[in-house]
Amino acid sequence: MLILFRKEIGSFLNSLIGYIAIAVFLLINGLFLWVFESDFNIPDFGFASLDGLFMVAPFVFLFLIPAITMRSFSEENKSGTIETLLTKPLTDLEIILAKYFAGIVLVIFSVLPTLVYFYSVYQLGMPKGNLDIGGIFGSFIGLIFLGSSFVAIGLFASSVTNNSIIAFILAVFLSLIVYIGFDFIYSLDLFGSIDLFVKSLGINAHYISMSRGVVDTRDLIYFISLIAFFVLLTKLSLESRKW
């Protein structure tokens, strides 16, 4: 499994894919935070806050992560190399986890450089350092968990089709539903007393909760359960090819 993990990391970092993904993530967030006139622009906002980053970044990940994961299994299914991979002395779960953890590493590599934004806003505060540091680092943790969830969804989408474009579209659709779809359903007020439960099924409710600076075990359990659910679906998808 470790060898496959290193191979997947190498495929990201020994080609332009990984660097382009990181550069695009930083560029889009940087433009919204410092250049474009918007509610997210830090100089225009007039307050030392990184709220804009944590509002924009999930939507960047929403498209960027599916673009990274769309070829994970679909290309191997299309080329037939998946059969060779499945004959290796690795279980299906080990293959999935190797690709999954490689995706998480890329997510972390994308998020780490944004600490420069934190340092910049820290210096701009009046007085210097006038920030909700607990809330910011809670948001960073939430962003990594959100990205990790999108990786799991992307791998599942890639495992059910031989077409990378279809895998991308499916991953974006599923990620969008899981991220803010339940908030939309909640806003319709259809379920009465269980509306809040419906809302809690979405990522956004737990992402916002972590951004308050308190890493609640309920939020951690939610993200771990969501990731495990899609990893299991991916495993079932791979196993179905043997039936």
Percent of the chain scoring above 70 in pLDDT:
91
pLDDT in tens, 154-201: 999 999 988 889 999 999 999 999 999 988 888 877 777 788 888 889
CA 48/CA 243 separation, integer angstroms: 57
Domain extent, residue 85, equals 2-242
CA distances from 172 to 64, 70, 179, 213, 240 (A): 9, 10, 10, 28, 23
Can you give the pTM of this predicted structure? 0.90
CA 176/CA 171 separation, integer angstroms: 8
Nearest to 182 by CA among 172, 196, 169: 196
What tokens appear for 93 in the block?
């779960």
Give 117's Cβ-side CA count (13 Å radius): 28
List, for the chain, all residue ranges whose pLDDT scores fall below the cut of 70: 45-46, 48, 76-89, 129, 241-243
pLDDT in tens, 131-158: 778 888 889 999 999 999 999 999 999 9
**Structural domain count of the chain:** 1
CA distances from 8 to 14, 163, 190, 191 (A): 10, 20, 44, 43
User: Residue 204: what pLDDT?
Assistant: 93
User: Residue 166: what pLDDT?
Assistant: 94
